[in-house]
Structure formats: structure tokens, C-alpha cells
Structure 1
Amino acid sequence: MSELDQLVEGAIALDKWPLARLVRLFEDTRPGAVAEKAAAIAALEAHGAAPRAMVAGFTGTPGSGKSTLVGQLAARLAAREAAAAVAVLAIDPSSHRSGGSILGDRTRVHFPVGERRLFFRSQPSDRELGGMGRATYPVVRLLERLFDYVFVETVGIGQSEVEIERLADRVYLVLQPLGGDQVQFMKAGIMEVPHAFILNKCDVGAAARRSYHALRASIDFARPGEAAPPPIFRTSAISGEGLDDVLDDLAAHRSVRDAAGRQAR
């Protein structure tokens, strides 16, 4: 058995070391790695690992609590679906001066030790704009063959960074209370992209209620002509409020994943 076949078999079994080795291969942007990636995909297909994951994108402003929220959602999803495996790919900003990244998202995500069905990977943005890194899509091509759900957490973004819509089957825009007024919520750009909104940190009380009603009142102006407004989930990663509602939404839309459509995008 070749070394590649051993890595592929270990990754399919969700062993962390072989999985990390394959992820590192798909993060390699050197021209010489192209043939190795193609060989890995062929080996995965030979072992029956076809694309199956629903890819959910979580994007939003810095400080909205995306990392903690995504970590809690992944852990709860694995707990409520005994056969489900979940991968989290978190993109951290790279310095435009040094090129380095802190990769600090992993400090906010805590998975049970030894749980094979949960996998976390930090990835630098490599100074790419749009919220994702240049290696994000290749790594998702790998992870979607090994997991049932892939959560992609973007860099903290602004109003015009909408690249996640080209990758994810379902996009969630994570906002925080007092993050803007009705005029802010009506502006074009990122408000036009998500399939659903998440107002996080709703444990703050009155401020969260005011932001919720401002967002609710603004959606028709930001997205005119839509037959049904996108849902708004009120969540708190601290209290657990609303997390099961987001998981219900994920489960309800898992059947509409479209790998061919994502490849075209």
C-alpha cells in the first residue's frame, strides 16, 4: 500500500494526523502540488469518498463572536446527530506588513479530546480580500469528501466582502447588538448575500432587542422583491439561546446542497 493510500484511509477514518497531512497538501499553493492534489482526489474517489458535506458559511464583522458561536454549533451538532462528522475551517487575517497570522480562532473553539467527528483547522487569509484565503476552496474540496458538514468561518469582514457566497451552500451573516442602525442595515453589499441572519450576543438584553427590531425593519429595504424575508436567529454562545434553532435551519436545508453548482461558482 502506498503512503498516499495510507493517508487517505486514515483520513477517511478521521484520524487526526493523516487528516492534517492531507489538509496541508491541499493548502500548498506551489505549482508542483497540483499533481499531488489530483492524485489525492483520485485516491479518495477510489476509496468511495465522494463529496457529501453541506458547506455552511459564517461571516460577519470582527468581534461578533463568530468563532465561539461556530464552535458551539459544531459541538452541539455532533452531540445531536450521532453519525455526523463536522469540520470547522476558520480563516484568520494575515498581516499586510509581515505576512504572518496569529491564528487565534482556535483559542475560542474547544472540542472534546479524542472526538474524531470534530475537526478544527485555522488558515491564514494570505492577505486575500473577500474574507477567505487562497487555499480555502481547495481544502473544502477535501473536507467535503470526509465530513457531513463543513463550517467555514471567514475573516471579520466589511460591507463589500462577499466571496463566501461562491463557496457555501448556505450563508449566515453574524451580527452583534449595537452594530448599526436601520440605515446601516439597508446598505447594499453583504446584507444582500446571506440566506439567514444571526444576531449573536443576545444575552445583553435591551440592546439586542433594539438591534433585532432595527434589522427586521430594514431587510425589506435591503433586499426588495424577495418573496419571503430571510430568517433572523437570536443567539448567545454563552447561554445557548437560539443555537438549536440555527441547527434546525441547517438540517432543513442540508438536502439542497449542490456540489456541481458550487464547482461552477
Structure 2
Amino acid sequence: MSRGSDGLADLVERGRALDKAGVAELIGIFEDSRPSAAAERARVLELLDDNECSECMVLGVTGTPGSGKSTLLARLTLDLLAADPDLSIGVLAIDPSSPVSGGALLGDRTRMRSPLDERRLFFRSQASATELGGLSPSSFQVCRLLTRLFRCVMVETVGIGQSEADIRHLADRVYLVLQPLGGDEVQFLKAGIVEVPDAFVLNKGDEPSADRSYHHLKASLGLARPFDEEPPAIHRTSARTGQGVPELTAAMLEVIATRTPRSHAEREPHFFERWVTDEWGRQGRRHLVDVLGGAAERLASEGGFDAAQIGFDASIRAALAGR
């Protein structure tokens, strides 16, 4: 739907005020994959960047299916807001899509329950569209918006395995949620997802096997992550009983308050390459690297993600047409 400049400006102001319907409508612009939506996205970001924005920390929450990510996140978000009255949180939760039907249950909605009148907490569920990497095709685009509206954005990935780790390119800090009996020392030593997180969360800590799993994980980190100067923190929690949740909440609040988040420009090259690959495949990647000098060069020369998309689309079409 085309909006006039006044209509778009009014919508952006509703988003700034954290009006849930306004934020949802803005997200629709950033989930729109049509080439015509790029110009509207650019205008939204121009309006949002008109005023000084507070820095937003992006926290990634990833882990295996069944580890309790959604239930834990539902509890954490409310505790974080209760602890800091100036905090606002946008949650983006990715649910798996069926490779058979293409549909998704979006079951994270049933676990994320928040007061309807609480503007400081916004929840959006997305289908993965069978995309590998733990995110959906539009997760990065939506985060470009949410990071300009909220002080913290929490991204919960699809339950992932050992090789799907796109979240490290999006989040400023990644938490890997595990459950007891999720593996022994050998399993933890396998390269992949264990190398990605900045901190570990052993959830369901009230289970009898939690102590054994904790010691397996702790013993394996020195070998699995030899690049660490000191081992990452391991938080033991139980979303059901609340065990360890206050300590994890305090640790997250410290990260939000003291760490410097990545700039938008630092996140863009990886996801621009992903967009090129999704839209144009190997031929598109060759054109990006061999003709245009790579993602970072293209983004810098075009002056932004949306302009780079429009420019790349025109460039490769002209090359294919022999012009």
C-alpha cells in the first residue's frame, strides 16, 4: 500500500511512541520483499534517524529445540522491564517452517505473554521460510527498524544445530541455551554452534541431571574454544522455578548498560551478501564480487542498504541483458 509523505511521517511518529499497531505496520514495510518497498524503507529510516537515537543492544538467544528458549525469554523480558523503568524491548522470534507444506505454527506466541497495555515490550513472530542459519529472510530488515525504536532487541532463533549460526552476524551478544543431557564432552567439542556464543545458559536447571551436564560443558570449553582468553559465563537457570533467572537478568542489564553495540554498517555486509545469494544465486555473488567489488564496497558507494539493493538489481539486470 502506497503512503503519502505525511501518512508515512505520522506512522513513524506512532512507531516512536511504541504504539503496537504502528510498530506492526512499520514492520510490514520491512518484511516486504518487493523491490518497490526499498525506497519506502529508506524513507522510514531517514525519518527515524532525523533525531538522535539511543543506542540499541541486540541480544541473540539461540539453542537446540526443546531447551526452553521461549519460556525463558518470556520470563526474562518481564524481569528486565521490571528492573529498569527506562528500558524498552522488541522481541523477534523465529519459528521453523515446514519443508513439506511451507507453513509455520508460530508457537512462540503462546509462550510470550505480556500485558497488553505495556508499550515497552513488543513481540513479533516470524516464519523461517525453511531458511538455514536460524533466522528468516527478513529478520535483518526488521532488526534495522526495531533497533531504531527500542533500547534492546532480543532475537530468538529457530532451534538450531551445529552449523546454523547467522545470529552471530546480527547480535551484539549471543546466548546459547542448552538443556541437561544435551550432550557429553565429545558433543560439546564438535565445531559449530558452541564456538559462537558469548555466554551459555543451561536451562531446566532443576532437573536431576543438570549438575552432570554443567560439569560436562564446563570441562569441554577450554578445548572447544581455545581462542578465549577466559571461558565464557555459564548461567544455570530454570524458567519453571525461576532458579538463576535474577542472576541472568542482572548480567543482561549490565551488558545493555555498559557494552557498545555494533553500528548498522557493521551488520550490513553479511546480510547484503545473503540477500544477493537468495535473489540471484551464484551468478549474483560473482557479479557482486567480480564486477562491483564486494558487499562492503557496494554499500559504501551506494550510501546504504536499500539504495545498494536497488542499484544491484539494476546493475545485474543490465549485465544479463548485455547492456
* TM-score bucket (shorter structure): over 0.9
For the residue of structure 2 that corresponds to 1:173, the secondary structure is strand
Q: CA deviation at 1:256?
A: 2.5
For 1:11-90, list aligned pairs within 5 A: 11-46=15-50, 48=51, 50=53, 52-90=55-93
Q: Which residue among 214, 236, 252 is the counterpart of 1:212?
A: 214
Looking at structure 2, the residues matched to 253 and 109 of structure 1 have their Cα atoms a distance apart, in angstroms, of 23
The one of the two structures with greater contact order (alpha-carbon pairs below 8 A, sep at least 6) is 1
Aligned to 2:183: 180
Aligned to 1:112: 115
Query: Which one has the bigger helix percentage?
Result: 2
Of residues 136, 139, 146, the one that matches 2:149 is 146
1:189-244 deviation per Cα after TM superposition (whole angstroms, max 9, x unaligned): 0000000000001111x301110011000101101142100000001111111122
Task: Supply the AA of the counterpart residue of 2:114.
Answer: F
> Percent sequence identity over matched residues?
54
1:263 maps to 2:265: no
Measured in 2, the distance between the counterparts of 1:173 and 1:261 equals: 22
Deviation at 1:133? 0.6
1:195-234 aligned within 5 A: 195-204=198-207, 206-234=208-236
User: Partner amino acid for 2:222?
Assistant: D
Deviation at 1:263, TM superposition (A): 3.5
TM-superposed CA distance for 1:3, in Å, is 0.8
AA at the equivalent of 1:69: L
Shift of 1:8: 0.6
Highest CA radius of gyration, 1 or 2?
2
TM superposition score normalised by structure 2 = 0.79
Aligned partner of residue 59 in structure 1, secondary structure: strand
Task: Tell me the SS of whatever aligns to 1:172.
Answer: strand
* Distance in structure 2 (CA, Å) of the matches to 1:51 and 1:162: 27
Q: Following TM superposition, by how much is the alpha carbon of 1:27 offset from its aligned partner in structure 2, in angstroms?
A: 0.8
2:305 maps to: none
Work out whether residues 49 and 145 of structure 1, in 8 Å CA contact, stay in contact via their aligned partners in 2. no
- Provide the TM-score with structure 1 as the length reference: 0.96
In structure 1, the residue matched to 2:98 is 95
Q: CA deviation at 1:85?
A: 0.4
